[in-house]
Amino acid sequence: MGEAMGARLDTALRRALAPWTGSTEPLVVLFSGGIDSGVLAWELRARRGASLWTIGTSGAKDMAAAESAAARIGLPWAARTVSADEVRAMDRALAEDLQGASPLRRSIFVALALAIDRAPGTTVLCGQGADELFLGYAHFRGLSSDEATARADADLDRLTRVDWPLSQRLAHRWGRTLVAPFLDPGFVDAARSIPIDVRRPDPVPKAWWREWARGRGVPSEIVDRPKRALQYGTGIDAALRGLVRG
């Protein structure tokens, strides 16, 4: 059963990426050096015109991790250090979009918007969807099978109905096309066909997803990197909290 699940996911990912692997137009992968963006980068490593892109505040953990991981993959990599003033400006620019949002949600979208807006290209790929499909969030720990299923369904529903459409609208605002291969319907179906007990975070978050990626040849440095959410790895959350304190 394990081999069959992996093979189905292999096929689904290949089909989800087909529009991009079969093209030579420039595209950029939002890259943290972690498992989700690492899978995309690995699958596109031989693709002409693909490059990797990272943003972060000064000293952000994602910057060093992404540089090292990009060297292992062999794709061109670029990075941009964003200042507190840029974080403040983006926070203000999104005030209407994020009216009433929690500080966490606000920091997620400020980080994503900065990455998209500064990206050196018009087609931008991201790893959205993997945490919902492979139970990467901390709130999945300790849940029963039924509880995990209900929470995963709710997370995916919110992503597809609310957060992903907002992400695409923000990208369009800055003249970008944002693509999430892990939200391709075929990939979603293949991932959700994997039993919830296989996908649960035991002993580590996204353990099955990590082992599947390892089997496809993704370097261990990327596969084993601890999960660090975008807003934390880029340092944007800390920058926003610093603005509030200031």
Give the DSSP H/E element, type plus range, for residue 89. helix 84-93
Asked if residue 203 is part of any domain, the answer here is yes
For residue 12, being part of any structural domain is answered with: yes
Instruction: Please give the C-alpha separations between residue 187 and each of 5, 110, 157, 224, in angstroms, as whole numbers.
Output: 12, 27, 15, 22
The answer to whether position 103 is within a domain reads yes
Q: What is the pLDDT of residues 185-214, one digit of tens each?
A: 999 999 999 999 999 887 788 999 999 999
> Which one-letter DSSP state was computed for residue 160?
I
Residues 220 and 214: beta-carbon distance below 8 Å: yes
Is the pLDDT at 168 greater than 90? The verdict is yes
Burial per residue of 116-149, b for 16 or more beta-carbon CB atoms within 10 angstroms, e otherwise: bbbbebebbbbbbbbbbbbbbbeebeebeeeebb
How confident is the model at residue 121, as a pLDDT?
86
The domain that holds 73 is classified in CATH as 3.40.50.620
* 113 token code pair: 């918007």
Beta bridge partners of 81: 56
Domain membership flag for residue 76: yes
Q: Where are the beta strands (DSSP E) in the chain?
A: 27-30, 50-56, 77-81, 123-125, 177-179
Q: Which of the 8 DSSP states describes residue 82? A: P
- pLDDT at residue 1 is higher than 70: no
More confident of the two residues 22 and 53? 53
| pLDDT attached to residue 242 | 82
What are the tens digits of pLDDT across the range 111-147? 999 999 999 989 999 999 999 999 999 899 989 999 9
In a domain, 246, yes or no: no
71: domain range?
Answer: 2-241
Number of independent structural domains in the chain = 1
Asked, for residue 163, whether it belongs to a domain, the answer is yes
Amino acid 91: pLDDT:
93
Is position 109 within any domain?
A: yes
Q: Is the peptide bond before 203 cis (omega within 30 degrees of 0)?
A: yes
Average pLDDT of the residues of the chain: 93
Residue 51 resides in a domain: yes
The mean pLDDT value for 15-25 works out to 91
**How much is the pLDDT for 231?**
87
Average pLDDT on 36-59 reads 95
For residues 193 and 5, is the Cβ–Cβ distance under 8 A?
Answer: yes
pLDDT band at 244 (very low <50, low <70, confident <90, very high): low
